[in-house]
Each structure stands twice: as structure tokens, then as C-alpha cells.
Structure 1
Amino acid sequence: MANRTINLAVLLESTDGEDGVEDLFAVVQMPSMLPRFIALPATSGERTFVMLEDVIKEHIALLFSDSAVVEAACFRITRNADITLDEDVEDILKEIQKELKNRRKKGDIVRLEIEDKMSHTMQMTLRDWLMLTDADIYAVDGPIDATCFGELYHLPDCDHLRYAPLAPQIPRDLLGVQDIFQAIAQRDIMLFHPYESFDPMVQFIHQAANDADVFAIKQTLYRVSGNSPIVSALKRAAENGKQVTVILELKARFDEANNIEWAKRLEESGCHVIYGLVELKTHSKIALVVRKEGDRLRRYVHLGTGNYNDTTARIYTDISMFTAREDIGDDATAFFNFLTGCREPSSVPSWKEICTAPHGLKDKFLALIQNEINQSTPEKPGRIIAKMNSLTNKDIIKALYQASNASVQIDLIVRGICCLRPGRPGVSENIRVSSIIGPQLEHSRIFYFQNGGDELLYLSSADWMTRNLENRVEILFPVVQENLKDRLKHILDIHLSDNVNRYILASSGLYRKVRLQGNDMPLASQLYFYEEACRHAAGSHATSIPYIPVTLET
């Protein structure tokens, strides 16, 4: 049975009149080539649809002429999509290609979704047939696989029901800039996607590919678009005689086939392609350009929280930074030397500014939390604000509980899974957890530590998840330029002031939506950031959306 396909489980009763004949069980796979929503003739100006599974159920008896249909209900299985490779595998690319052929129908089943109206008898039949437990069964109140509603999103003449599309703006740090290298050499530059355009990152690699003074380009790639302009630029750079090294993670789940194709094309163009490490996923987002300027070599580095994907950069919120700082350049060089095998695998570089997983990043976060504990008093409490996708690592959670008990005031902005319970007396009463759910997918990772007034701010490719901190190659990097630190604090401040798309996690584990109170002005953080980007791009700094800030001071 194929992974994540919609099927109908059918319970049949024999009609041949024989006593003692057992009921029969059948499975009908829904045709994936047909739409899930079938339009009916319009009446009185309304659009009416019937779902494909309902049509099949209505006529399911036509398939079983010798039996009576007792019940028909939808279900879907999910198979484990992880690819596990032996450490002594000789050819990662060939091994992954082989595993991809097996994954769709041979991966272990880890979940069974069923219609909530399915009978207990049918549930137990499916459970036993698929060799699952009760804990693996999820009853769905509504259509299984809600992505089908995407079909309705694209209906014509419904613009009034859709979010207005964002037109990414020129980044405020690059207004009027013609030469991106010259701009980076003068100061660190920050980009905030999707409100600010991803084009400068593409321009960075394109300009490097065509610049006669550029010697080398090194970059990690985790997920790239189907027609990636960055990959095109890397290919052209190699064809122009530059040394191009790409760490291309073939094990990026569900992007394996796409990445294999890109790996082949990059190699054909003369790029040196490293397929990542067998036992670890390379999830870091970093690019290094080495350029000759006069009698010296200058290194330009780009680091970010999101993938080098021009498509998702219009949907996901991410923050990235360009820098030409020597210490970051040294670390970037050591990072690529380490991953490409220029150092012994057991020899982890001594970093100057960055920190990496799986060696050191979790300890760094624990040390930063402990530092807040050490400096915190009831009169002058410490302060931590952390924004991420998910929080699951139990060591980090325990450290945050200890910080809460030391009067440290903690705000966590966690879009997805959060295994920490806030607001529990004696455990987490000084911890608050928010989740921003809006038109854009919150993807950036930002970490703020008050540090006794000498504030520390970091960006990272990693969430506070065990898989990120212990089983992946990740990067944490500091933001030290004062205007960029102020900007990150502003971003956190606006998120914590959102009263339109923010949810609060209660100590019970349930979320409640923040509601407007009295004369409160609505503040949707994502819309605010977009309008702010538009104002800067237009050269105006006037504030058109008032808000009441949640101060970073305690």
C-alpha cells in the first residue's frame, strides 16, 4: 500500500446465502489523478462541490456485485520517510536512489488516519491488518489530507477571499546599492524575507560567478527550488574557471530526488560536490566567496536561518546576514575545510564567533541560559527571548525551568511543537509561550539574552530540537552590529505584541488565540513587517500602524 494515498476500507457481507461465511474486507484506492472536489451545476450564483470519496462511496456497490456493502470509510497510512544509511556505505548517491525506490511502499507504517465515523470493527480490522497499535490510529473529523483544500484556493473570481500577495521589497540595507561586495565590505547587511527580496542573495552568487577577481565559492544547499537561479549561478561560476564547492545534502527529506538531479548537473559543470556526511544531515545555511582585492584576499560570508530556495523565500519568514568580518571569514573557511575532509573528522575546529552542532551548539545554549541564571536576581531578573520552529530537547527545557525558578523572565515564540509547559507554579511560572500562525510560515530562529545589560543576539539554522542539536550539522552566529541588534529586538518586540495572529500556550497544553481588548489597535506582526518594508523601500520612515510594545526590559 502506497504512502499517504487515500483509500476506502470496505466491509462486505456475502450474499450467496451460505451460513457461516465470514465477512470480507476490501480496499479501494482513490484515483490520485482526479480532483478531490467535483463541481456540481451552479444554482443561484453559488458554487457547490461534492468530494470524490463521497461519489465513490455512493456507487461502491458497483464494484462488488456478489456482496453487500456493510460499510465504506476513508483511511490513509503514513510510512517512515527517513533514509538510514550504513556508515560504511561506499556511494551515498546510489544508495539513496535505491532507498527512494523502496520508501513509497516499503517504509514502516507509523500512522493510520481514519474517518472519525469509521466503526470500531473496521478500525480493529485495519489495525490488525497493518500490524499497528491503538496509539498509531488518528481519527479525523473532516476530510483526510486537508491539503486537498488547495484545489479551492485557486478558483477564479475569488480574489476577495485570498490574502493579497506580497511583493518583496528592496532590503533597507541595500537601498541604492549597485555593488553588493562593496556594500558588504563597509558593514554587515541583514535581509528579512519574505518582506524583503531574496534577490540580493541570488545577485551575490551571480556577481561572484562573473567577477574576474573571485577565486572560490563555497556553499551549503539543503532544499533548493526546481529551477534554482543559485544553482545556475554556481554552475556558471565553475564554467568560468572558479573553484566551486557545494555541500549538497542528499538526505533532505522529500527533496532527495530533486537534490540528486542538481548534484549531477553541478558535477557536470565542474563543481566539486560533497554529498554531506553519512550519519548527519548538513542543515547549515552558509555561503563563502573568496575575492582578490589589491594584494589581499577578502572573504564575504552569507549566513541565514532559511534555505537557499527562491520559492520558499516568498512564503517562509527568514533572516539572513552578509558580512566581511575577518573572524567570521576564518570560521567559514574552517567550516568548509572540516566538511570537505581537509581536517580529521575527529578534529572539530576551534571557532572564533560561530558555534556548530553536533559538537558544541547545545552546550553553548545551555551556557547562555546558565549565564542568565547566574546574573538574575528578584530585583534585576535575567531575560531570554527565543524564536524557533519547535522546542523538544529535554536538556534545554530543564535549563529553562531552572532559569524560571531563578526569576529569569522568558518569552518563547514557537510556531510548532513545544514540549515545555509554561506557567506552572514552582516550575515554569516565569515562562510564556507564543505561536504566530499567519499567511507566512514563521521559520526564523532568533535568540536574545540580556546578559546583565550587555545584550547578546544570535541567529541560527537550528531549532531547540534534539535532531538539530545532536544529529545535524548546524550553525549559530552572533549579530554584533548595533543597528542590526536593534532591528532583531524590534522584530521580537512586534511578534510579542501581535494581537491578531498570536496564540498563547496555557499550562494545560492548550492554546488560546489572543483577542483584541477594548480600544486596542489590531497588530498583525506579519502585515506590520511587510508595510514597514514598503515604507523603507519608498524612503519614508513614517509609522502608519500604531502598536503598544512589549518592552524587552523586565
Structure 2
Amino acid sequence: MAKNEEKAARDVSNRYVNRELSWIQFNRRVLEEAQDPEIPLLERIKFLSIVSTNLDEFMSVRVAGIIDQIKAGYQKKDFSGYTPSVLVKRIMKLAEELVDDQYRTYRDVMRQLAKEGICFVHSYDDLNASQQKAMDQFFHEIVFPVLTPMAVDQSRPFPLVHTLGVYLAVVLRREGDDPEDEPYFAIVQVPSILPRYIELPLRLNSKKTEMMLIESVIKRHIRTLFSGYVPVSVHAFRLTRNADLTLNEEGAEDLLEEIEKELRKRRWGSPVRLEVERGMHPFALEMLTGEFEVGDNIFDFDGPLDLSFLMKFSVSLQGYDHLRYRDIKPVYPKEFTADDDEHVDLFPVLAKQDVLVQHPFESFDAVTDFIVQAAHDPKVLAIKITLYRVSGNSVLVQSLARAAEAGKQVTVVVELKARFDEERNIAWARRLEKAGCHVVYGLVGLKTHCKITLVVRQEQGGLQRYVHVGTGNYNDATAKLYTDVGLFTSHPVIGEDASALFNEMTGYSAPRHWKSFGVAPADLRDKLFELIRNEAENAKAGKPAKIIVKINSLSHQEMLDELYAASQAGVRIDLIVRGVCCLRPGVPGLSENIRVISIVDRFLEHSRIFYFENAGDPKVYISSADWMTRNLTRRIELMCPVFDKKLQQSLVNILHLCLEDNVKARELKSNGTYIRLQPDKAAKRSQFSAMTVDNWKVF
């Protein structure tokens, strides 16, 4: 390579952080929460689970996509300077280090839990007689009937191994055979329909809570599945397949049926990663690697595979509340509460003022009540809503169905392609259609990711529009776990844009010139560029110029360049980016005016808030969109202005709480690494401060 080409490649790699490598850094920050001795033990267990589920999705989607590029012979460098083949090697090395650290942490936390009287017993030899009898009975009555041993030999080909399922690889020899003869091989699926762990009977005079993993029970009784054979070894394994859907939306007569078909294909996705239990027999490993052809993408674990089960374990364990965070009770928004603490009718309140809410510190019940009241209000003529991810037993969906059955015009834009929620969304879509709702599956080639509800109500002065715009999904379960903000408004300009947006999603309306919204993929990116450039021009003119952005991910190359240019113009930029960040802050001559922090804490930071100083007349927005290529070019996303000055200040207060966090904030350095802030003054933890609503909300 010529010297100028080497310099260009070096300059590119210095200018941007690779997206996938930045994601691994994020998952390491999640792991750090599991390692934090200040966090209650059962909360630390949750973070160990999250590391596993995060890594599963990353491997099955992002890494799978890169491997597909390699198979297709694609070797062009990305904007961070990596070719696919070099990047995969780097990812796997870092992922292996991460997993090793995760399992060290798992063993450490388990030792500490054992001191609290909570432990997993992995060997039958450590059980007493009554416990062994209970596990024997459980196996024969519950487990054995659903097990299927699957032999692999010349007459029986390798069976389908489902993605992310736990299996046992069994090496056998026939009774009386020479130990030097080639052994036999079979696999047994650990039934996912059964609990991953079983609570053991209490020992005499003991209050210890003891559990045993179901695979340990199956291993103990493996001979019952192979009479006439002697088990040589039994070890667990797990396969990750490519889980990204490839849809031919243009050719699909029925998108719902097309997605159902692709979901079935997902079970056959090409192998991406093989996880095995440490100490696996060489013959079993040879059989697995020969079948799956995953190359070097093999992880061996000194511990149970798939730690995602720890989430349910940490939540369901009874009697150990001292090992958890204290429960918080979200407050119902004061604006919707009467003097006697009773909840009031929302529509008269919203006719007079806009209301901002922040979850989980304020109750999601206000959003549900907005839909429930609209469904029952005889003056309401129409309800329109976008649904991306919905909880298992959604009151909101039930209310929409009742509204349609009552004769109201109910339109629901359901995103069937919400990754890993496709089957649930298909079920809701069918139920809503049956109730009489107009169900729309969005636009071809685009995911509908915006979160908006429009209620049209007949009032004395004519029709009035009421709108809710949120940064998070209409999901009452995740609203207790994620930080999100939502705006209730009857502002006529927002109402007019909301109607136009639904018309565009459900009909043939051409993209319009929005009066207040920024909508992707039509114009959101350009509006953001315009806002950033305006700050740069103000800085050059000596006017007040500042940008504060809170998002989940930042990876859009043009957006990075716009932020770099604004920094070079003198704009002070604070970025609160929870996950992936491809920007390098603090680089002399490029980004010395940019600071980037990431907050990983008890709740998942999920709200998107944009602040632009605008020469002393601030513009403040909430949005569904992260600043990634997919959000700005391949999704229907929404950026909504907040006009009310008090609500603007509330959002600014939220941003400042984050920027002042010196307990859970990590700062991104120019070399692409994150450092935990060391408080040189009073500790400030933004999420804990926000639990007191008066700390951020202006009434």
C-alpha cells in the first residue's frame, strides 16, 4: 500500500470508532454493573443476564451480517477502516474476553449469594437423600416424558438444532465394546418448555434456598435414554444462527404471511457461533464443529450455558428483598390529579395545557388512561396509534379493541418486523382486526418506529385533536424498566402534523412539508443537519451556541461529520449516548468541544431528547430516533418539538441531571475507551435524583 493510502486509512480509523467494537464496549459497561459491589446482589445477577441476551442478539444479527459479507467475498473497508474479515476476528477476540470476564463475575456473585443462603447445586453427590429422591421423581414424572434422544450415525443425519437452545452432546459406547473403538454420538435437547432450574427441598434444620439446573438432572439420568450403552461424556452446547429476516416485501401479497414464513426459516439460519461446556469430549466437539462449520467462532464456558435464565431467577426468588433495590412507586402525573388525589379526565386538562411525563418515575398509567378514556368517551370519534412492541397482556390493546367494537374509527399501525417480537405482534394484529380495527402494516421497506397516538374528539367548537408522542414503546412492562419521556398536547400545529403522518402511513399521501415534525426517512436527517449548522453559524457570529443530545446510539457517518464541523466552529456539544458511539471526542482540531458520556444504571436509558441553543431562543425536541443510518434512512421515525417553555425547561433539567452524574456516568475518551468518573465532590446519580419528580419537573 502506498504511503498516502496508509495515511488515509490511518486518518479514517482515527476519525471514527467502529460501530461493532463500540457495541462491545457498551456491553462491557453492562457487565461492570454486575461487578459493582455497591449494587445489591440480586440486581447484579440481572446485569449478568442482560450481558448474555445482548450478546445473543449481537451475534445473531450484527455478526451474522458481517459473516454473510465475508461469504459473499465483500472486502471493502467500512468508514472506520475495517474490512469484514479483520473486523470479525477483532469482535470474536473481544467477545471471548468479555465472556471470560462475565463467567468470572458469575462465579464471584454466586459465592456471595451462597453466603446469603442462596446457591445452585451442580452435583447429585452434594444432595442429601430426600433431595435426590425429589429430583429423581421430578425427572421421571416431568422431564423424561418430553425428552427425545437423537442419535447421529450413517442412517440418521444430524437433527435440526434450534438457535439459542441448550442441548446435551452425549458420547456413548456399547456395553462390552472395546474402549478404543470409535464411540457413538447423540444429542438431547434440554426442554425449553420446562423451567431452567428447580428449587430443591429444604435440608433438615436449614433455611438455605438451593436450586439445581435442569440439565444437571438430565445428565444424572442420561443412561435411562440409552439402554445398552454406557455414557462416556455428557456436555452442554448451544448454537447461534443468523436470525435476521430477509423479506421480499414488494413481492409479498400478504406481509403478515410473509413474516410468518420467514420466522419458520429463522430456525434454519446459517450457524454463527457455537458455545460449549468446558471439558467437552474431543469426539463430541469434532462432531459439532464438522456439522456447523463455525470456524474459530467457538466459545467454551466454565459454567452453565446461557445465563439469561438469571433474570427470571433474580425476579422470582422470594424472601430476599434486602438483596434488591427498594421498590419505587411511580407517581401519577400531578397535572392529571385532583386535590383529593383522584385521577381526573385527561381531555379537559389537555385542552388547556401540554403535559410532559417521564417514566418510570411517573406512571405509565397516564398513557393507558389516555387510550382507555378515549375508548369510552362518546365524544371521541377516532383513535389512531402506532404499535412497535406491546406487553403480553396489554390493557391498551384491549381498549383499542373495545373502541372499535363500540363503533369508533380505530386505526392501528402495527410494526410486524420488530425484531424478536414478530410473533407477538402478529397475534395482536389478528386480534385487533377481528375486533374491527383498521390494522396497517406500515410502508414497504420501512420499519414504523415512531411512537404516536392521535385522538379526534367532537367538542363545542368543532373537532379537537389530542396527541401523545413518546420516546418509548406503548408497553406498560418496559415502561417500568426504561427511562422515557412522553408529551401530551392539543397544540393545533402538532395535531395537524399528526393527522398528516397517519394519512401518509395508511394511504397514498405524498411526503409533506411538516409544520412542526421532523419525519424519517423524508426530512428528519436534513432538519437535524440544519439545526446543527445553525448552531455552527451562531458560534461563528459570536452568538450563544450549544447542543445537548441524549440518544441510545450514534453511528451515522454524515451526522458525525456535522457534529465535528460544529465543534470546529466553536459549538459546545454534550452527547449523552447510552450505547454505540462512533464519534471520537476531544481530538485536537476535530472534536475538542465535544464531550460524550454513557449512563448505565438501574433503568435502561432510552429517552431521546435534543436541545439546540438557537442564539438564546432554545429549540427542544423529543424523538423516537437514534442517530443511526437505519433510523434516519430505513425507518419511519418522528422528532416532535416541545413548545411550552416550562416543559422545555423540564427536559433541560433531565439533560443536566445526566451531565452532572458522577456515579454511573462513564466518559468516552478520544482513544475509544470509557472511563468511570471519579467524583471530586458530592455524589450525583441522575436516575436516583430523577425519582423525586420535583428535581427535574417544572410545574
TM-score of the aligned structures, taking structure 1 as reference length: 0.86
**What residue number does 2:329 align with?**
167
**Cα offset, 1:193, TM superposition:** 0.9
Do residues 233 (structure 1) and 399 (structure 2) align?
Answer: yes
Q: 2:565 aligns with which of 402, 422, 432?
A: 402
Q: Distance in 1 between matches of 2:599 and 2:625?
A: 18
Query: Matches of residues 100-119 of structure 1 in structure 2 within 5 Å?
Result: 100-103=263-266, 105-114=267-276
Q: Distance in 1 between matches of 2:395 and 2:193?
A: 31
Q: Which SS does the other structure have where 2:692 is aligned?
A: helix
Do residues 318 (structure 1) and 484 (structure 2) align?
Answer: yes
Q: 1:178 aligns with which of 318, 341, 344?
A: 344
Query: Matches of residues 449-460 of structure 1 in structure 2 within 5 Å?
Result: 449-460=612-623
Query: Matches of residues 74-473 of structure 1 in structure 2 within 5 Å?
Result: 74-103=237-266, 105-114=267-276, 126-134=288-296, 136-137=297-298, 142-153=303-314, 154-176=316-338, 178-343=344-509, 347-377=510-540, 382-473=545-636
Runs of 5+ consecutive residues of structure 1 not aligned to the other structure: 542-554
**Cα offset, 1:336, TM superposition:** 0.9
Q: Distance in 2 between matches of 1:77 and 1:433?
A: 33
**What residue number does 1:527 align with?**
688
**Once the two structures are aligned, what percentage of the paired residues are identical?**
48
Q: Distance in 1 between matches of 2:170 and 2:665?
A: 42
**Cα offset, 1:144, TM superposition:** 3.1
The aligned amino acid for 2:327 is: P
Q: Which SS does the other structure have where 2:308 is aligned?
A: helix
Q: Distance in 2 between matches of 1:55 and 1:237?
A: 50
The aligned amino acid for 2:307 is: A
Contact preservation (8 Å) 1:185, 1:324: yes
Contact preservation (8 Å) 1:169, 1:534: no
The aligned amino acid for 1:275 is: Y
1:225-255: per-residue Cα shift (whole Å, max 9, x none)?
2221212222222222221111111222222
Q: Distance in 1 between matches of 2:299 and 2:539?
A: 44
Q: Which SS does the other structure have where 2:396 is aligned?
A: helix
Contact preservation (8 Å) 2:389, 2:474: yes
**Cα offset, 1:312, TM superposition:** 1.6
Assess, with a 3 A threshold, how the Cα gap between structure 1 residues 53 and 370 changes in structure 2: closer, same or farther. Answer: farther
Q: Which SS does the other structure have where 1:254 is aligned?
A: coil
**Cα offset, 1:327, TM superposition:** 1.1
Q: Distance in 2 between matches of 1:59 and 1:268?
A: 48
- Further displaced range: 221-230 or 417-426: 417-426
Q: Distance in 1 between matches of 2:285 and 2:567?
A: 44
1:193-212: per-residue Cα shift (whole Å, max 9, x none)?
11111122222222222222
Q: Which SS does the other structure have where 1:487 is aligned?
A: helix
**What residue number does 1:552 align with?**
none
Q: Distance in 2 between matches of 1:479 and 1:507?
A: 33
Q: Which SS does the other structure have where 1:425 is aligned?
A: coil
**What residue number does 1:550 align with?**
none
Contact preservation (8 Å) 1:196, 1:533: no
Q: Distance in 2 between matches of 1:84 and 1:45?
A: 54
Assess, with a 3 A threshold, how the Cα gap between structure 1 residues 212 and 58 changes in structure 2: closer, same or farther. Answer: closer
Q: Which SS does the other structure have where 1:433 is aligned?
A: strand
**Cα offset, 1:337, TM superposition:** 0.9
**What residue number does 1:32 align with?**
192
Q: Which SS does the other structure have where 1:457 is aligned?
A: strand
The aligned amino acid for 1:387 is: K
**What residue number does 1:501 align with?**
664
Contact preservation (8 Å) 1:300, 1:324: yes
**Cα offset, 1:12, TM superposition:** 7.1
Q: Which SS does the other structure have where 2:601 is aligned?
A: coil
The aligned amino acid for 1:308 is: Y
Contact preservation (8 Å) 1:37, 1:151: no
Contact preservation (8 Å) 1:378, 1:407: no
Assess, with a 3 A threshold, how the Cα gap between structure 1 residues 46 and 234 changes in structure 2: closer, same or farther. Answer: closer
1:515-538: per-residue Cα shift (whole Å, max 9, x none)?
443xx33322222111236998xx
Q: Distance in 2 between matches of 1:282 and 1:71?
A: 46
Contact preservation (8 Å) 2:661, 2:684: yes
Assess, with a 3 A threshold, how the Cα gap between structure 1 residues 404 and 10 changes in structure 2: closer, same or farther. Answer: farther
Q: Distance in 2 between matches of 1:73 and 1:207?
A: 52
**What residue number does 1:5 align with?**
165
Assess, with a 3 A threshold, how the Cα gap between structure 1 residues 49 and 179 changes in structure 2: closer, same or farther. Answer: closer
Q: Provide the aligned C-alpha RMSD in A.
A: 3.1
The aligned amino acid for 2:401 is: K
Q: Distance in 2 between matches of 1:535 and 1:478?
A: 19
- Further displaced range: 169-178 or 200-209: 169-178
Q: Distance in 2 between matches of 1:404 and 1:112?
A: 44
Q: Distance in 2 between matches of 1:401 and 1:173?
A: 41
Q: Distance in 1 between matches of 2:664 and 2:220?
A: 40
**Cα offset, 1:132, TM superposition:** 3.0
Assess, with a 3 A threshold, how the Cα gap between structure 1 residues 54 and 390 changes in structure 2: closer, same or farther. Answer: farther
Q: Distance in 2 between matches of 1:141 and 1:431?
A: 42
Contact preservation (8 Å) 1:306, 1:444: yes
1:339-390: per-residue Cα shift (whole Å, max 9, x none)?
11142xxx21111000111111122222222222222259777322211122
**Cα offset, 1:455, TM superposition:** 1.5
- Further displaced range: 23-32 or 399-408: 23-32
Contact preservation (8 Å) 1:389, 1:443: yes
The aligned amino acid for 1:256 is: E
The aligned amino acid for 1:282 is: T
The aligned amino acid for 1:521 is: A
